[in-house]
Amino acid sequence: MKSVMEKGRLNILVTGGAGFVGSHLVEELVSRGHRVVSLDNYFSGSEANHVAGATYLAGDTRDIFRHITHTPDIIYHLGEYSRVEQSVLEPERVRDFNIAGTRAVVDFWREKRCKLVYAGSSTKFGDKGAARFTSPYAETKAANTELIRDVGERERLPYVIAYFYNVYGPREASGVYGTVIEHFKRMYVSGAPCAVVSPGTQERNFTHVSDIVDGLVRAGSYGHGDGYGIGNRTAYSILEVARMFGFGSDIVMFPPRSGNRMTADLDTSKVAALGWRARRGLPEYIRAFTSARPRGKRKPRRVLVLSATIHPVAGVAENAFVELARSLPDVRFDVVAAKFSRRAKREEALPPNMFIYRVGSGFSFDKYLFPVFGALKSLSLVKKNDYLFAWSLLASYGALAGVLLKYARKTPLLVTRADQDFSNLSFARKKIVSYIFKKADGVHGAAARRGEGAARVFGGSRGGGGFAGSDSFANALRYAYADIVRKRSGV
pTM of the model: 0.88
pLDDT score at 348: 59
pLDDT score at 91: 81
Contact between 231 and 205 under an 8 Å Cβ cutoff? The reply is yes
Tell me: cis bond preceding 312? Omega within 30 of 0 counts.
Answer: yes
pLDDT score at 6: 57
pLDDT score at 126: 54
Q: Nearest to residue 193, comparing CAs of 480, 477, 479? A: 477
**Dist. CA 444–CA 458, nearest whole Å:** 14
pLDDT score at 312: 77
Over its C-alpha atoms, the chain yields an Rg (Å, rounded) of 24
State the amino acid at position 164 in one-letter form.
F
Q: What is the mean pLDDT of each run of 10 residues along the chain (491 residues)?
A: 64 96 98 97 92 97 96 96 74 87 96 96 61 75 94 97 94 81 94 95 95 97 96 96 96 85 83 97 98 94 95 87 96 93 60 94 87 97 96 94 95 87 80 90 70 47 45 90 84 54
Q: Kindly list the domain boundaries of the chain, sorted by start residue.
A: 7-292, 302-484
Q: Which CATH architecture has domain 7-292?
A: 3-Layer(aba) Sandwich (3.40)
Q: Which CATH architecture has domain 302-484?
A: 3-Layer(aba) Sandwich (3.40)
Would the CATH topology of 7-292 be identical to that of 302-484?
Answer: yes
**Dist. CA 137–CA 124, nearest whole Å:** 10
Tell me: cis bond preceding 371? Omega within 30 of 0 counts.
Answer: no
